[in-house]
Amino acid sequence: MKLSLDIQLNKADFKLATSLELTWPKAGIHVVFGPSGCGKSHLLRSICGLETAEGVITFNETTWLDSQKNHQVPCHKRNVAMVFQDSQLFPHLNVKQNLMFAFKRSTASLQDLESAIEHLKISHLLDHRVSQLSGGEKQRISICRSLLSKPDLLLMDEPLASLDWQSKAEILPYIQSICHQWQLPILYVSHSLDEVMQLADQIIFMEKINSVSTIKKVGSLLDLLQDIDNPFNQSSHACSIIEGAWKNEPFLQDGLAKVQLEEQAIYLNQNHYQQINEHVRLTINASDVSISLSHALDSSIMNILNGSIQNIKYEDSGQCLIQMSIDGQTLLSRISAYSAKRLNLKVGQNVFAQIKAVALSK
């Protein structure tokens, strides 16, 4: 699956000019990330043909847009489905009729219909009117409807942005699972770091430079998190992802499970444990990592890892971000600039990272 584009969009109060090349192995979620108003939605709308951009857009072997040749495939023939922020179910149809609207116009089979309804757990809602549904239910039905259109590419425009945290938490796993079960390439727009962390295979950073929206950078989640200069890591959300594998069965004493890195290990509550040798990704916030020069044995902190400093970046806020290499993986720590100077930290130095909290990511 390959999408490539080189487009310009000129509107009265908005300009977008960008080129982009994206590939999906088979299925996967690429997230377009950036602050509100940076043109993410316009990019999506140009891709599906709701905005008439100038330039070239091709998907796999098909040219959707080539404005020089005056060639433009209209939205309804691009075989792209879109999930909108506010679900956009048709109010004059009930839930079932909304689903059938997509089903009747697509190549989806009856089996697809049944499995989509089952997958999104909406069979009890089929006879409901749209106005009777909660925000989360509406969005689940909207996702189901877009699946039934059997698209080659699914676009999602901040589908969780207008939901409360409970509905968000309820729907996020569905988005992950439909991607793999339906073998769908998904392009997902978000300005939420949580969603990026949980969903993204690739991240497309968008920005407004001199009032023109453009794509600044594309990379994998891991690439981007390892880059101390990336916009993520400038924020208070700076974090690292450490990969390892579950080890130990039976559990260690005191309810701990062990994630083995190359040489060292990280210990977690055994509630998180999945399966022996199964690969696991851990998210560690930079602000949850402190640094000491010696292995503190008199500390309550359980996870203390040995590594070397690779980069130090002093920030304007009186803090500094320290990049360490631990068993070949990158770990970030944010400490005060004062402490960094007091400890006289230098690139190449051997230090101990004390990790206060670890979370499981997807």
Binding site for another protein (CB under 8 A): 48-50, 74-77, 79-82, 84, 88, 90-92, 101-102, 105-106, 145-146, 149, 155
When the beta carbons of 67 and 106 are compared against another protein, the nearer one is 106
Longest dimension (CA), the chain: 72
When the beta carbons of 81 and 200 are compared against another protein, the nearer one is 81
When the beta carbons of 75 and 304 are compared against another protein, the nearer one is 75
Shortest distance, position 138 Cβ to another protein, whole Å:
13
Reported in sequence order, the residue ranges of 12-50 that DSSP labels E, i.e. its strands, are 14-23, 28-33
Are residues 311 and 228 in contact, defined by beta-carbon separation less than 8 angstroms?
yes
Distance CA 6, CA 20 (A): 6
Q: Which two tokens stand for residue 43?
A: 């990019």
Q: How many helices (H) and strands (E) does the chain have?
A: 9, 21
Distance CA 213, CA 8 (A): 10
Shortest distance, position 86 Cβ to another protein, whole Å:
9
When the beta carbons of 73 and 256 are compared against another protein, the nearer one is 73
When the beta carbons of 105 and 341 are compared against another protein, the nearer one is 105
When the beta carbons of 150 and 258 are compared against another protein, the nearer one is 150
Distance CA 10, CA 67 (A): 14
Are residues 138 and 87 in contact, defined by beta-carbon separation less than 8 angstroms?
yes
When the beta carbons of 37 and 91 are compared against another protein, the nearer one is 91
Shortest distance, position 25 Cβ to another protein, whole Å:
24
Distance CA 260, CA 277 (A): 9
The one-letter code for the residue type at 85 is Q
Shortest distance, position 82 Cβ to another protein, whole Å:
4
Shortest distance, position 322 Cβ to another protein, whole Å:
46
Distance CA 299, CA 287 (A): 18
25 half-sphere exposure, CB direction, 13 A CA radius: 6
Q: Which two tokens stand for residue 33?
A: 């990330």
Distance CA 361, CA 130 (A): 34
When the beta carbons of 101 and 267 are compared against another protein, the nearer one is 101
Residues with Cβ within 8 Å of residue 179, at least 6 apart in sequence: 27, 28, 29, 186
